[in-house]
Amino acid sequence: MNLSPENLIALMNSWAPELIWVLMLIVCFSAVLFLYRFFGAAGLYSYISIAVIGANIQVLKTVQFSVYPEPVALGTILFASAFLATDILAEHFGKEAARKGIWLGFCTFLFFTIFMVLNLGFSPLTEEQAGEAMAWALPYHDYMSALFTPQVAFFAAGMIAYLISQMHDVWFFHWLKEKFQGRHLWLRNNVSTMVSALIDNTIFSVLAWIVFATQALPIDTVVFTYILGTYWLRLIVAVLDTPFVYLARHWKPKHV
């Protein structure tokens, strides 16, 4: 069987979206542990940067799950897994290390957005300039423009929501850690993530799809598709990442 990218995508398109959801969850959580194991805090910083960029691209795609009546925006798992990374940072390296990871994620997405806007600033080839040899490249400017032009508005909405929710997560996680004297890791991880995820979903959705949008979406669409439609998924992710938090406690980085 030819597993080219096109064939692999076509194969996965035939699967139930719930199956892809579970697969992505396993890959994301495993990646967090892998990078933590082999690179320590630096690996978690890298993952947070990847998650922030990837989730803000994935959010442009919506899918229909069989268990929810409204289409659901993607990016939920990837972005929610960044909370796992910051919780591990806060638990093992302290809240200042976690805050450093948050700011690194912010700066990474900032420069990525600038780079892509500058890239789109180059005039695309005309058919005459491309000729037969470069004709394949003609559609890609429009493809990239469709994908990355919204990033300017998404950057403002995403980063405001990201900074507020992630900083709240670190603060709340650390407050709970002090309150419970370092015990009840499962409770600290779940409660801080669930509350912070709701803050993030609400702020991002209102700003991205209403305040900063060139054409505001109906409020019911924002609430049921982008706030509640993804929040229930984030609640599931918050619960399912608990074993990985405990694995990180017992699977220390090699160099530590």
Q: What is the pLDDT of residues 108-156, one digit of tens each?
A: 988 998 899 899 999 999 999 999 899 999 999 999 998 887 666 777 8
Q: Degrees (nearest 5) of the Cα angle 69, 72, 75? A: 160
At 72 the three-state DSSP class reads strand
In a domain, 3, yes or no: no
Q: How many domains does the chain have?
A: 1
pTM comes to 0.86
In a domain, 150, yes or no: yes
* Cα separation values, 236 from 25, 124, 227, 239, 256, Å: 10, 43, 15, 5, 31
Round the average pLDDT of the chain to a whole number and report it.
Answer: 88
What's the whole-number mean pLDDT along residues 75-80? 85
In a domain, 256, yes or no: no
* Close Cβ partners of 112 (under 8 Å, ≥ 6 residues apart): 53
In a domain, 57, yes or no: yes
Q: Show the domain range for 153.
A: 17-250
In a domain, 5, yes or no: no
Predicted pLDDT at 57: 86
Between 225 and 216, the higher pLDDT residue: 216
What's the whole-number mean pLDDT along residues 234-252? 86
